[in-house]
Amino acid sequence: MAEEPKTEESQQWGLNDEYPVTEEQVASLHEQGWAALPNLLSREAVDAMLPRLSASRSRDQKRPDEHRGPGDDHNPNINHDEMAWRDPVFREIATSRRLASAATRLMKQETVLFVEDVSFFKPARGRQSGYHQDFSYWPFDRKGTITVWVALVDMSEDMGPLRYLEGSHLEGPLGFDDGNNILDAYPHLQNRKIVGGKPISAGDAQVHWDLTIHGAGPNNTDTVRAAYSLRYIRTDTIYTGMSHPHFDAFQLPSGRPFAESGLFPFIGA
């Protein structure tokens, strides 16, 4: 169930209003592997999120010795994770009617589980985010997870908005890229069209599947490119026990469904 809105801000930020997902957006996600979600969050919501993220400790500050995300050693982004488990504002956004309506319609599910959130702050003059699939990095036994990537600042093309290889979710799991560009391991991917990566306004979002190959160009500007990702899984997804900086902390029993734990909110009808 979508959690009841708790603050006056929910109303002001439009979190109680459904997001009007179109047939075209659903088709784009299912057929092309991604979709644009303009105006998902209001400016007011984004304005509240940005300073909270900037003031919180990043993943590296909290767990400097942990393994990192895709691409590794040279993580091109600063990540603030678990915000929705640390700050009620983020929890409210992630479980709001606005996000719930978008996630369930896009996934074609009645109910889904919200399981992870993480920021992607690409510093001024920061390097590109290499192309990768998220699937291999997560302790999920099945596909069907979406990431809703929200722009928290207005981004020009030279700041590195998220981009995708069109239709690449149909490739199946291609494994860890081990810090290398997945395009070197699978040269045939170079024939796929690069989509997304266009200027985007704060509050606009894009959604992709766990198997969609995605990345971002470098930030060739002097301002930080800030984005925030929310991940939603199918309610029948089972925890595999594979180590992951976010999921390790929950000490879940491997081989059991995430839904049983009570640690991840159900959202939807």
Ligand X SMILES: O=C(O)CCC(=O)C(=O)O
Counting contacts by CB under 6 A, is residue 134 touching ligand X?
Answer: yes
Contact letters (x/-) for ligand X, 56-85, by CB under 6 A?
Answer: ---------------------x--------
CB-CB contact of 233 with 112 (8 Å) = yes
177 binds ligand X (CB under 6 A): no
Give strand ranges (E) for the chain. 34-37, 111-122, 129-132, 146-151, 162-165, 194-196, 205-209, 214-216, 225-234, 266-268
Q: Which is nearer to ligand X, 76 or 268 (CB)?
A: 76
Residue type at 45? A
Smaller CB distance to ligand X: residue 16 or 156?
156
8 membership: H or E segment, kind and range: helix 8-12
The smaller minimum CB distance to ligand X, of residues 14 and 71, is found at: 71
Q: Which of residues 222-251 bind ligand X (CB under 6 A)?
A: 227, 229
Residues 196-225 that bind ligand X (CB under 6 A): 214, 216
Q: What residues from 141 to 160 belong to the interface with ligand X (CB under 6 A)?
A: 147, 149
Nearest approach in angstroms of CB 74 to ligand X is 13
List CB contacts of 240: < 8 A, sequence separation 6 or more.
Answer: 139, 140, 141, 254, 255
Q: How remote is the C-alpha of 230 from its chain's centroid? A: 4
Measured from the CB of residue 262, what is the shortest distance to ligand X in angstroms?
Answer: 26
